[in-house]
Structure 1
Amino acid sequence: MTEEQLQALLHEMTTAEKVGQLTQFAGAFYSEQEDSTPVTGRIEFPVEEDMIKESGSVLGVAGAMKLMGIQREHLKKSRLGIPLLFMADVINGFETIFPIPLGLGATWDPALIEELQTISAKEAASAGLHISFAPMADLVRDPRWGRVMESTGEDPLLNSLFAAATVRGLQGKDSLIANDRVGACVKHFAAYGLAEGGRDYNTVDLSERELRDKHLPAYKAALEAGVKLVMTAFNTVDSIPATANSTLLRDLLRGELKFDGVVISDFGAVQELIPHGVAENEAEAAKKALEAGVDIDMMSLSYAHSLASLIDEHMIDSTFVDEAVLRVLQLKNELGLFEDPYRGVSLEKEQTVVGHPSHLALAQTVAEKSMVLLKNENVLPLDKQTSVALIGPYADNQDLLGEWSIFGKTDQTTTLRQAVQKQYTHAIYAKGSQLYERDEELLKEAIAAMEQTDCLLLALGEGKDRSGEGRSRSSITLAPCQIELARLAKETGKPVIVALFNARPLDLTELEPYADAILECWHPGSEGAKAVVAILSGKVNPSGKLTMSFPRATGQIPVYYNAYQTGRPLPPGSNERFFSRYIDIPNEPLYPFGFGLSYTSFGYSNRSLSSAKWDGSGILTVSVDITNIGEVKGDEIVQLYIQDVVGEVVRPVKELKSFQKVSLSPGETKTVTFEISHDMLQYYHSDLTFASDPGQFRVYVNGSSVCEEENTLTFSLVKS
């Protein structure tokens, strides 16, 4: 349709039809046969038949035949023939499941993320979906938050790169979305990752300067990549819920950032303005949300019950409704739904595309690149002839897909036991314990198994029932029964290797002394077990690096690498009292941001800057030689950090500004060169101007965020 035709269609619509386009209900309401995929809130409210008839979009249901049937029945009843939009959470894959986003972040490979999201889009589109609720661009510093699994970590730069890559992968790069792609929806606008106490749906309180400097960059990157939708956050921003925050949505998002696409609430968020205490009833909630800029009311009845009467009683300007409806119609037009309400979907296409062997092969590759070797006391890799006792609640467990893999096939997922026993002829299995509960009989079987082999491989972690939305934890340790397994294994004197399956950074302080090696596997997806064995056996050399710090204790949270400088920084090695420190643990995390081991080692030498003084014009270059000083080929992620020594406001101790991945054979040396541009030195000042400070800057180049002072480079920014 042309813009003129869309305007004509809008003019022809009744108020009821317009309001319908601004409401979204779960798939359970559209078909008696619909078994309803998991939703993220309460659905116990009366949805009338007329609401379903006029509604504009459907949540959380997929399948070519199913969605074609719902669309067909809808079009029969629709006076103007306006097709439905089908939306769902396709976060880290549709049926082919890749590692959780926190694991994807550990690849440090935006191009790989774009490639896998292209696969996700193809599968989702073949199953009839139009929109994916991804990427989640929230900056997260608190691993107690259940939704940390859906983030890519604690760094603004990495989050920005991954958000943009996800949008490009899902949508493609054209304004009109091809039939084998889906629209992307960036969430949660804004700053939801800062929920107090790591508790879902909780308050967020931050300054506008902090919002702009740390939290906005990833959302902006998604907008610049052309994302079609923005989802509002559950939290408050400046004491106003995001879903009713006109300053956030109209002034910042639509005004300053020039977003002209669809804004959709999170599940029930419009209705939740009432318990938030900023709306007295549904009518006031609907009025505040629409006037703030929310186009689609997801899974609440506020718009459906109230917008028509608000218009009739002149309590709301009808142009707000028309603008919102037009944006929804434009989105449907960009998806080509007016020309083809079924967008080329067929059962045959779905059967050909979904779960294709090439998709599964990529899933294994991504899983291999996402895993992080946290510890290795010369016990990995394991020789094929080694006898192995595979023990633990994750040893024979298909729960490898993660919480948001709602269309994945858990019952078809290879377990670690199956993968290990295929690779190692001398492998025995004993469960040892339940995930969270001690079992005496299982423990006896595990002790017996420990006595029969040369090496002990413990598969430990937390299930998807302890991560994701609504699953915040006050303590992020492993269950005591799993720690007991590790202690008993260590007491045998045999090598103990831990394969860790989890969806958040954990407090591993109690586990670490019992393990000779720890491989962070995350919830690794459809081919995750095969990826684990590829690394354990040495077929693949691990290269993943953490994008979120692992704390030493829950009470240390939040702990993140780019913290602000304090007035009393703790001197290295000091135990003196009156400094910013804990008296019972070090300040530093157990495993820092950017950390990850390899089966080889890398040496850094000849760090150099092109100039010690710079006026900000052109490019300043940083060079370093990287040498593989080990015995096997490996990939190293070389990281560039900068510190603004004296700022107009307090600045972080360091900030990631660039990185490169290099592949090196044993003995090989490569020179890695980074370019520093003036924008890398800019930040939001106290008056919210975006500028740099003249003066000294420190430059660190290393394989993690831990940077030795003796290897620091310095330059001065001088204003011309």
Structure 2
Amino acid sequence: MSFPASRTSEARLSSEATRPGTAGKAAPHAERIESLISAMTLEEKAGQLTIMPAALAPAPANAANPAAVPGSIEEQAQAVREGRLGAVFNGDSADWHRRMQTVAVEESRLGIPLLLAADVIHGFRTIFPVPLAEAAAFDADLARRTARAAAEEATATGIAWNFAPMVDISRDARWGRGVEGGGEDVLLGCTLAVARVEGFQGDKGLTDAGAMLATPKHLAGYGAGTGGLDYNSVDVSERTLREIHFPPFQAAFEAGALSTMAAFNDVAGVPAHANAWLMKDVLRSEWGFEGFVVSDYTGDFELIAHGLAEDERDAARLAFQGGVDMSMSSNLYAEHLPDLVRSGVIAEADVDVAVRRVLTLKAQLGLFDDPYGRLSPERVEANDQPRYRDLAREAGRKSIVMLKNDGGVLPLRRDQKIALIGPFAEGRDHLNGPWVLFGDPAYAVPVDEGFRAAMDDPANLTVVRGSEAEASLEGGIEAAVEAARGADVVVMVVGEGERMSGEAQSRIDICIPEPQRDLIAAVTAVGKPVVLVLKCGRALVLDETAKQAQALVVGWFLGVETGNALADVLFGAHEPSGRLPISFPRHTGQSPFHYDRKVTGRPPLSLEHGEEFKARYRETLNVAEWPFGHGLTYGDPVYEGLDVGDGTLAWDGELEVSATITNRGARAAEELAQLYIHDRAASVTRPIRQLKGFQRVRLEAGQSARVRFTLTRRDLMFVGRELSWTVEPGRFTVWIGPNAESGLEGTFELLAGDAASA
């Protein structure tokens, strides 16, 4: 890889990363592919480069994107029959998929199989926690297993290609699509990108009936939209692209991903859908990417609205010449590529290259050998309902983050009288989260149901909604207050409805909506212990009243096992083990906020107010309310005894950095030890901290353990002045601790060596 791969206890992202066994799978079909290309008309070639929404798709899939006109079922079948359509997406009917594949293979002139695709973001029938929530587990194996389960369910209906994972680094909580990614950190983002690609594609090769081709998206910089506004312009330096936004894509490609999706945004004035530097110079020439690029939903057509293209024909030209192989939803390639070739604007040989890429992937997926191989009646029948509930419950509880637990109000006692209050305290809505196209919310376990199953006497639970997500309920606050007065402890499930996060859901204010804030204020005024459980798909800003709750828990959107997963953790059957994959700022006005921001020439010298002419706000310091990596346990882990050896790292050597963690609490602790560094003097400014490793350790009450991290020169690399990865000798600060704003601090020095070997 061309970026430095840091190490964790769960994944080693290195240049030796192996790709699943797909090489050579298309070789037996190479002659056939060339024969097909030579026999195809321009219209048939354009058809292979066209993907449209399925004419038969579930309502949530149709609602997830702007309205499109895919044609009727018969019209779409005829397009396949005539070779004008090579792929469809977001259908889930195995019977319809079989019918369409039969038309493609047995009724079209050339018999080229259809490529069936879908947006399987965090589960197919079994809905797992949203990706941002799952990132809080800091667990590559978990991400791999949930992706594998999703692929097993989806491929049974014939789906061979997935528009996931989203690997965009997201650093502005106002942006709604951060819910689909791995958070703000590059190392964590790379780790999860690899795990999800491996999970979707499996370890048996892409021809396996359970393999689903992964599509890292969106290339590139989509998470850096100005103002946190979806689809907005991105204006970042090439250094920022190479150091922050590119690495997760590179990691995903090294893991075997053979397709990618262009981003909606422009970068420095050039939309990704027409960006030859990005798609050709970087993606193909620098990284050696051999797969194909698909547009995002009508992204090529939107070059007109960008002000780049004069009309649809010009948009098709710009997108194709910019390196986009396949057009999604707009039908622009089918309508305009043949004429662009006949008029000499685009060379037919270039079209052949794109067609060859698509046909090669179809061969690698085994579609030429067995076009019906993923259509398994037995597997489909088993997939009618969620198959992986135990895994969903495990993923849910591992995603939960406990921010605060004053007075040990958690875990709850099973014999307590509990008032469960809030718009998400009951019901099956708002549990699965956004981007659920194929899972039925009727199968989700509500919070109150999970609580009753965990309590000694379910009659001790009183449930009151109090308000809706964004609206008041008549008499709601009064009923909530009465319930709180009769309870030993109050649990409030508040935050965002599932349509408040996701695509096209940017927010100008990331606070809890006002009707819920009024509810929280009234209930906390009763004086009973209060536990706030935050339902959200982004970092939230809490007002002073909310922060006064004795306990605060981030409950995200946890999927089909929401109620049981929350009960597992809140009643103490399992330790809270999640950690924040994003920083929770103190104020919306701090956005974009991330822990690894750059050092300035006027950094604050203290955490006291009144210090002027420093990089700080008048009202608050630019620090997090709860920093990246933060999360509490029911134990009491204490860090001691940092050891950096002799404090020197030889140019070609290794340095072990270690510390002891002791659980001084009365309960077991699941602790995530984190290693951070800071380059104290470099040729370009460096972040105040960078995560370079993490290790999970379980400690029984009173138990100690030594955590050890190994650093090499590779871990210290950065994008230098020449916009290439480099490393420089010098002094570094190192921390081992529980989050990005604390920990044991030491120093070491990288000794000079042969710069040519960097």
TM-score, with length taken from structure 1: 0.97
Of 647, 660, 668, the match for 2:682:
647
Partner of 1:364: 393
For 1:90-169, what aligned pairs fall within 5 Å after superposition?
90-169=120-199
Distance, in Å, in 2 between the alignment partners of 1:38 and 1:479 is: 24
Of 728, 742, 745, the match for 1:712:
745
CA contact (8 A) 1:123 1:354 kept: no
State the AA in 2 paired with 1:89.
D
Partner of 1:607: 642
**1:680 aligned onto 2:705:** no
State the AA in 1 paired with 2:400.
M
User: Could you tell which deviates more after superposition, 483-492 or 386-395?
Assistant: 483-492
Distance, in Å, in 2 between the alignment partners of 1:454 and 1:34 is: 43
Partner of 1:411: 442
Cα gap change, 1:35 to 1:120, in 2 (>3 Å): closer
CA contact (8 A) 2:131 2:180 kept: yes
Of 662, 665, 676, the match for 1:630:
665
Distance, in Å, in 1 between the alignment partners of 2:491 and 2:159 is: 41
Please give the secondary structure, in 2, of the residue aligned with 1:134.
coil
For 1:412-431, what aligned pairs fall within 5 Å after superposition?
412-424=443-455, 425=457, 426-431=460-465
CA contact (8 A) 1:103 1:522 kept: yes
Partner of 2:331: 301
Distance, in Å, in 2 between the alignment partners of 1:513 and 1:659 is: 28
Distance, in Å, in 1 between the alignment partners of 2:156 and 2:655 is: 47
**1:243 aligned onto 2:273:** yes
**1:43 aligned onto 2:68:** yes
Distance, in Å, in 1 between the alignment partners of 2:97 and 2:71 is: 23
Once the two structures are TM-superposed, the CA of residue 305 in structure 1 deviates from its matched residue by 1.3
CA contact (8 A) 1:145 1:199 kept: yes
Partner of 2:19: none
CA contact (8 A) 1:694 1:716 kept: yes
Of 88, 93, 96, the match for 1:63:
93
Cα gap change, 1:105 to 1:34, in 2 (>3 Å): closer
Of 418, 421, 433, the match for 1:402:
433
Partner of 2:40: 13
CA contact (8 A) 1:91 1:135 kept: yes
State the AA in 2 paired with 1:362.
L
For structure 2, the 5+ residue unaligned runs are: 1-27, 754-758
For 1:203-222, what aligned pairs fall within 5 Å after superposition?
203-222=233-252
Q: Deviations over 1:576-625 (max 9, x none)?
A: 11111111122211111000011111011111012322232121110111
Please give the secondary structure, in 1, of the residue aligned with 2:246.
helix
Distance, in Å, in 1 between the alignment partners of 2:471 and 2:215 is: 39
Distance, in Å, in 1 between the alignment partners of 2:366 and 2:443 is: 34
CA contact (8 A) 1:171 1:177 kept: no
Partner of 1:540: 574
**1:260 aligned onto 2:318:** no
Cα gap change, 1:475 to 1:36, in 2 (>3 Å): closer
Once the two structures are TM-superposed, the CA of residue 69 in structure 1 deviates from its matched residue by 2.2
Q: Deviations over 1:622-649 (max 9, x none)?
A: 0111111111112111000000000101
User: Could you tell which deviates more after superposition, 103-112 or 72-81?
Assistant: 72-81
Q: Deviations over 1:638-682 (max 9, x none)?
A: 000000000101100010001100111111111111000111111
Q: Deviations over 1:122-173 (max 9, x none)?
A: 0010122111111111011011111010011110110000001000000024
**Count of aligned positions:** 715
State the AA in 2 paired with 1:313.
S
Please give the secondary structure, in 2, of the residue aligned with 1:418.
helix
Of 45, 53, 60, the match for 1:26:
53
Q: Deviations over 1:407-450 (max 9, x none)?
A: 11101211111111222221111111111111232222212212
**1:589 aligned onto 2:632:** no
CA contact (8 A) 1:436 1:479 kept: yes
CA contact (8 A) 2:536 2:555 kept: yes
Please give the secondary structure, in 2, of the residue aligned with 1:518.
strand
Please give the secondary structure, in 2, of the residue aligned with 1:670.
strand
CA contact (8 A) 1:649 1:685 kept: yes
Once the two structures are TM-superposed, the CA of residue 511 in structure 1 deviates from its matched residue by 4.6
CA contact (8 A) 1:65 1:346 kept: no
Once the two structures are TM-superposed, the CA of residue 562 in structure 1 deviates from its matched residue by 0.2
CA contact (8 A) 2:60 2:437 kept: no
Of 377, 402, 410, the match for 1:380:
410
Once the two structures are TM-superposed, the CA of residue 542 in structure 1 deviates from its matched residue by 0.2
Distance, in Å, in 1 between the alignment partners of 2:603 and 2:516 is: 37
CA contact (8 A) 2:580 2:631 kept: yes
What root-mean-square deviation, in Å, do the aligned CA atoms of Structure 1 and Structure 2 show?
1.7
TM-score, with length taken from structure 2: 0.92
Distance, in Å, in 2 between the alignment partners of 1:269 and 1:450 is: 51
State the AA in 1 paired with 2:122.
N
State the AA in 2 paired with 1:64.
A
**1:310 aligned onto 2:340:** yes
Once the two structures are TM-superposed, the CA of residue 689 in structure 1 deviates from its matched residue by 2.6
Partner of 1:195: 225
Please give the secondary structure, in 1, of the residue aligned with 2:195.
helix
State the AA in 2 paired with 1:636.
E
Q: Deviations over 1:378-398 (max 9, x none)?
A: 200011110001111000131
**1:567 aligned onto 2:583:** no
